Chains A and B, each alone.
Chain A
Amino acid sequence: MAIGSRTFWLARKGNTPAEYEDASAANEAAGRYALADGATESCFAGLWARLLVEDFVKDCDADLQSWPDSISFLQVLWDAEVQSRPIPWHAQRGVDQGAFGTFLGITLAACPEGPCQWQAVAVGDTCLLHTRGDALLRAFPVECSKEFGNAPKLVGSRMSLDEIRKRESLWTDGRGQPGDRLWMMTDALAHWSLVEHEAGRNPWGELESLLSGPETGEHFASWVEGLRDVRGLRNDDVTLLAIHL
């Protein structure tokens, strides 16, 4: 079973690409994919999101239940990176408080023929949507559009491991067949997709057309801007990591 992935992203309208605070990473050889969304209200959140995803895809531990264990090391890295910079007065409180973000990690165990097994861990509202054709098989960890809000569970760069373990981190797993899609999305696009799905429309077809579109980011940017302007997509950083089984 050949598994591939593509990543699309666009910064919040009005922000520069350098101010984009989502992060994604894919390690196809290891079957590991991750997405994180740095919290708007925290400082150096983009850095924290990058550390979370890059570590997850490098890790080879098959047991996702132990995922939070590596975070202590990432917290040291975050602190060292932040403390190496001059910290202006307005950032001191944010640095003391730490950065925050939502997180979604997926591992795939491909079988040579037939279905593959996937596992996922999540904190907050960065989502996995598993589709087969026009059918939504699973939405995780947010199951319907009404569950989104502006205060999701977060993982923090100064939280103790105990706190992180109590974060209501969620684990799940499933089976995929050749042709299935695993769509990993940050909250704005996940919310829009579920609203469309609940209204009986077919967002999966629109997402699918992105995969056959040009490799440049312009096609995705133009699609997202259209959604923002007239179809109710909230103006936020948007990231889509599409895994095709």
Chain B
Amino acid sequence: MAYTAEISRSNPTCFLFLVDQSGSMAERFGDQSGRTKAQGVADAINRLLQTLVHRCSKGDYILDRYCIGAIGYGDEIGLGFPGSLAGEVLRTVSAIGNGPLRIEDRVKRVEDGAGGLVEQRVKFPVWFEPIAQGKTPMCAALQVAQEVVSEFVSQHPRCFPPIVINVSDGAATDGDPGPMAAALRNVASQDGNALLFNVHISSRGETPILFPPDEGRLHDEYARLLFRMSSPLPAEMLRQAQVREASVQEGARGFAFNADLSSVVTFLDIGTRVDSTSR
């Protein structure tokens, strides 16, 4: 059965982030926060990376169940992470966890258990800064991504299929990204085809949408384009998504419109879960 391979240090999987850094990302994000789309992208990627690292933290060390890579696209195609992680496209999750650019103190509102909210100080590691410069060579980025995951799969043929997460406003300037996306989804390990998920960061102030099964609620042509490029959630990921949100339907795709996709990382089975069903 596909998408059931063990994810462990001896059989790691790969996450690859495609980060839109084009000039259009300087526009205002549609989530009422006052942030730019570039800031929305940076926060989305940093939150995803944080979730990946948290899942592999054992306390005083990080277990390397994942390799994680990044490809920025804007003025140029930028391979890999900035700062101390520069030099290679893919890094182990422990290298990522130990190598953020900086760790910010942020304030988060959490439920106080009595129906209200309290502010809590949290550490927020930053790997990506907001960048908004140049055009949107999404096709070129998808092609490089295909090469990176093909290489990973050739080295780890039994791996859980690589997961590519593209965060963009969707307006590619180098052609139709659809065929490139299809080619990327055709890369396969013995456990199934690579998964391409998309996060659409939009200026439209519409209700966030997560894991839709069709285009019906998507009013933006770029959102529809990114939806069509997105892989359906494999069975176990769909089941986990439905545990969290009963409204997620059969045929749901790995797509988010102005929404946080980081939960998708927690849908992967790495061993005994610690969640509301077990605690």
Chain A residues within CB distance 8 Å of chain B: 12-15, 19, 37, 39-45, 47, 82, 85-95, 97, 100, 102, 150-154, 156, 159, 163, 234-236
Number of A-B contacts (CB under 8 A): 94
Query: Is A41 within 8 A of B272, CB to CB?
Result: yes
Cβ–Cβ contact B278 & A153, under 8 A: yes
Judge whether B59 and A95 touch: CB under 8 Å: yes
Query: With A82-B59, A94-B59, A159-B279 known to touch, is A154 a contact of B8 (CB < 8 Å)?
Result: no
Closest to B61 in A: A19
> Which DSSP category, helix, strand, loop or mixed, fits chain A's interface?
loop
Which residues does chain A contribute within 8 Å of B272, judged by CB atoms?
37, 39-41, 100, 102, 150-152, 154
CB distance from B138 to the nearest CB of A (A): 31
Contact between B279 and A154, CB atoms less than 8 A apart: yes
Smallest beta-carbon distance B269→chain A, Å:
6
Q: Given the complex, which residues of B lie within 8 Å of A41, measured CB to CB?
A: 55, 270-274
> How far is it, in angstroms, between the C-alpha of A82 and the C-alpha of B58 when the chains are bound?
12
Residues of B within 8 A of A43 (CB): 57-59
Does the CB pair B54–A100 fall under 8 Å?
no
Which of the listed residues A13, A39, A44, A89 has the most CB atoms from chain B within 10 Å of its own CB? Answer: A89
Closest 4 CB pairs of A and B: A40-B271, A14-B10, A43-B59, A14-B9
Q: Which residues of A contact B273 (CB under 8 A)?
A: 39-41, 150-151
Which residues from chain B contact A85 at a C-beta distance below 8 Å?
Answer: 59-60
* Residue among A12, A41, A47, A87 with most chain B CB within 10 A: A41
The interface of chain B, by Cβ under 8 A from chain A, is 6, 8-11, 53-55, 57-60, 62-63, 97-98, 103, 123, 125, 269-275, 277-279
Contact A15 B274 (CB under 8 A): no
B230 to chain A minimum Cβ distance, whole angstroms, is 26
**How far, in angstroms, from A86 to B60 measured CA to CA in the complex?**
8
Centre residue among B6, B9, B274 by max chain A CB count within 10 A: B274
A40 touches B270 (CB 8 A): yes
* With A151-B272, A154-B274, A159-B279: A44-B59 Cβ-Cβ less than 8 Å: yes
- Chain B residue at minimal CB-CB distance from A158: B279
**Complex contact A90–B54 (CB within 8 A):** yes
Q: Is the CB of B54 within 8 A of A94?
A: yes
Is the beta-carbon distance between B123 and A92 smaller than 8 angstroms? yes
Q: Min CB distance, A161 to chain B, in Å?
A: 14
What's the Cα separation between A156 and B275 when bound, in Å? 12
Known: A14-B11, A235-B6. A151 touches B278 (CB 8 A): yes
Contact, CB under 8 Å: A90 / B279: no
Please, which residue of chain A has its CB at the minimum distance from the CB of B100? A89
Closest-CB distance, A81 to chain B (whole angstroms): 10
Asked if B60 and A88 make an inter-chain contact with CB atoms under 8 angstroms apart, the answer reads: yes
Q: Once the chains are docked, how many angstroms separate the CA of A124 from the CA of B124? A: 34
CB contacts (< 8 Å) of B9 on chain A: these are 14-15
Complex alpha-carbon distance, A86 and B177, angstroms? 46
Separation in Å of the A171 CB from the closest CB of chain B? 20
Report the separation of the CA atoms of residues A88 and B60 in the bound assembly, to the nearest whole angstrom: 7
Which among B53, B54, B125, B269 has the greatest number of chain A C-beta atoms within 10 A? B54
6 additional contacts (CB under 8 A) given A14-B9, A88-B57, A100-B279: A12-B8, A88-B60, A97-B274, A152-B278, A154-B274, A154-B278
How distant is the Cα of A156 from the Cα of B278 in the complex, in angstroms?
10
What residues on A are CB-neighbors of B59 within 8 Å? Answer: 43-44, 47, 82, 85, 87, 91, 94-95
Give the contacting residue for A45; candidates B55, B58, B60, B279; CB below 8 A.
B58
Which residues of chain A come closer than 8 Å to B6, judged between CB atoms?
Answer: 234-235
CB distance from B56 to the nearest CB of A (A): 8
Q: Is the CB of B125 within 8 A of A91?
A: no
10 pairs, CB–CB < 8 Å, chain A vs chain B:
A14-B11, A39-B271, A40-B272, A43-B58, A90-B97, A92-B123, A150-B269, A151-B275, A235-B6, A236-B271
Cβ–Cβ contact A100 & B274, under 8 A: yes
Q: List A contacts of B277 (CB < 8 A).
A: 151
Give Cα distance in the complex from A156 to B271, angstroms: 17
Pick the most buried of B10, B54, B58, B98: most chain A CB atoms within 10 A of its CB. Answer: B58
Report the nearest A residue to B11, measured CB to CB: A14
Residue of A nearest to B123 (CB): A89
Q: Which residue of B lies closest to A39 (CB)?
A: B272
Given the complex of chains A and B, what is the CA–CA distance between A13 and B277 in angstroms?
27
Is B274 a contact partner of A42 (Cβ separation < 8 A)? yes
Residues of B within 8 A of A13 (CB): 8, 10
